[in-house]
């Protein structure tokens, strides 16, 4: 059995909640993802609007090869799953939102001509698919590609019109907001369907979280739930999340603790397999423990953060290992 076959088998046990020990993976390097890529440095330093022609997938392959070797040597239980440059806001770019670079990341900006759910810039879509193809060829027989960060419907709409305006429109123009959120959810599913990643060991993997799955998989997010009330979430996003959760055999939602109020609703979605929770920089883990135990009692739990050794030990002591995967990000 190869090392990656062992890891795939371990992840299969995770999904069946039969893993005897907590899965622990390590992602060494800069906490800011974009700065992990030497090929991205000239764009970050430039601090300007980024166009599709600025991205050359081939130039990023040495960075991916380095990360692959790191994952083999120091990744713990990670199933190395690269994705098209995760620092690029791909869906926003495809939707026609201007993309700029800063000292540590890339970000999308508001647009005056929002066309929810439509591919406005085909060049960005072509670049994304080209990136997937180049990665697939480079990793043939060694690793498989996965989904990068694809922001959710409310994140896309909030970026396009402004976060404050999103909340105002939920009250003043609810029908229009529902239509746009549904359109962005369709866009997410359509783009991921085009990606068509290859399988490995009979399964696929979730990019960014390096999580192997026995069948097709998808993860999604809506970070702007953090600024909504429980009633607004139930009215505008719960049905969408239920639909996304049922769109593949294995699905997971990404959350920050600021959105933990929606967990009670997420636990009612039978099709949702896992909930992923971030520990943000400087956030204490003690208050998180009761919430994490609640999730783990009913769903698989994936944790991601800059956990110290003491915090990692606390999590392993407090949480039953079955269905728990802890990713230490930024570890050296």
pLDDT of residue 195: 86
**117 backbone φψ class: left, alpha, beta (φ>0; ψ -120 to 50):** left
In the predicted model, what is the mean pLDDT of the chain? 95
pLDDT at 326 over 90: yes
pLDDT value at position 159? Answer: 96
The whole-number average pLDDT for the span 112-136 is: 94
HSE-up (13 A, CA, CB side) for residue 152: 22
Distance from C-alpha of 279 to C-alpha of 303, rounded to nearest angstrom: 7
Nearest alpha carbon to residue 47 among 104, 4, 6: 104
Q: Which of 14, 12, 8 is nearest to 322 (CA)?
A: 14
What number is the average pLDDT over the span 285-306? 97
The whole-number pLDDT of residue 31 equals 86
Give, in order, the Cα–Cα distances in Å from 176 to each of 9, 142, 173, 270. Answer: 46, 46, 6, 29
Average pLDDT over residues 303-332: 93
Residue 30 pLDDT: 86
Here the tokens at position 150 are 């694809």
The pLDDT assigned to 22 comes to 97
pLDDT for res 331: 53
DSSP 227: G
- The pLDDT of residue 332 is 52
What percent of the chain has pLDDT above 90? 91
Q: Are 184 and 156 in contact (CB under 8 A)?
A: yes
pLDDT at 330 > cutoff 80 = no
Per domain, the residue ranges of the chain are: 3-329
Q: Which residue has the higher pLDDT, 28 or 128?
A: 128
The answer to whether 267 and 245 have CB atoms below 8 angstroms apart is no
pTM for this one? Answer: 0.96
pLDDT, residue 306, reads: 92
pLDDT-derived band at 234, boundaries 50, 70, 90: very high
pLDDT at residue 221 is higher than 70: yes
Q: What is the rounded distance in angstroms from the CA atom of residue 258 to the CA atom of residue 260?
A: 6
3-329: what fold?
Answer: TIM Barrel (3.20.20)
């Amino acid at each position: 059995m190869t090392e990656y076959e062992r890891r795939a088998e371990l992840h299969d046990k995770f999904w069946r909640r039969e893993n005897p020990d907590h899965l622990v993976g390590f992602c060494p390097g800069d906490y800011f993802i974009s700065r992990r890529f030497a090929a991205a440095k000239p764009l970050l330093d430039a601090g300007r609007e980024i166009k599709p022609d600025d991205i050359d997938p081939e130039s990023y392959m040495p960075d991916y090869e380095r990360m692959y070797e790191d994952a083999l040597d120091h990744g713990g239980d990670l199933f190395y799953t690269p994705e098209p440059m995760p620092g690029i806001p791909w869906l926003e770019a495809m939707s026609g939102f201007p993309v700029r670079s800063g000292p540590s990341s890339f970000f999308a900006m508001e647009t005056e001509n929002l066309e929810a759910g439509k591919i406005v810039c085909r060049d960005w879509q072509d670049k994304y698919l080209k990136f997937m193809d180049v990665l697939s060829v480079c990793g043939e027989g060694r690793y498989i590609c996965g989904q990068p960060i694809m922001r959710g419907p409310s994140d896309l709409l909030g970026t396009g019109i402004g976060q404050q305006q999103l909340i105002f429109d939920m009250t003043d123009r609810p029908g229009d907001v529902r239509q746009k959120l549904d359109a962005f959810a369709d866009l997410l599913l359509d783009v991921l369907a085009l990606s068509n990643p290859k399988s490995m060991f009979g399964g696929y993997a979730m990019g960014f979280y390096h999580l192997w799955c026995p069948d097709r998989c998808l993860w999604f997010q809506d970070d702007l739930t953090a600024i909504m009330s429980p009633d607004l979430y139930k009215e505008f996003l719960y049905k969408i999340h239920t639909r996304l959760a049922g769109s593949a055999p294995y699905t997971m939602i990404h959350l920050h603790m600021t959105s933990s109020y929606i967990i009670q609703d997420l636990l009612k979605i039978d099709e949702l397999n896992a909930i992923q929770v971030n520990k943000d920089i400087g956030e204490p883990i003690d208050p998180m423990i009761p919430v994490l135990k609640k999730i783990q009692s009913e769903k698989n739990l994936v944790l991601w953060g800059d956990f110290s050794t003491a915090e990692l030990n606390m999590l392993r002591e407090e949480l039953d290992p079955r269905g728990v995967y802890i990713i230490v990000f930024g570890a050296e």
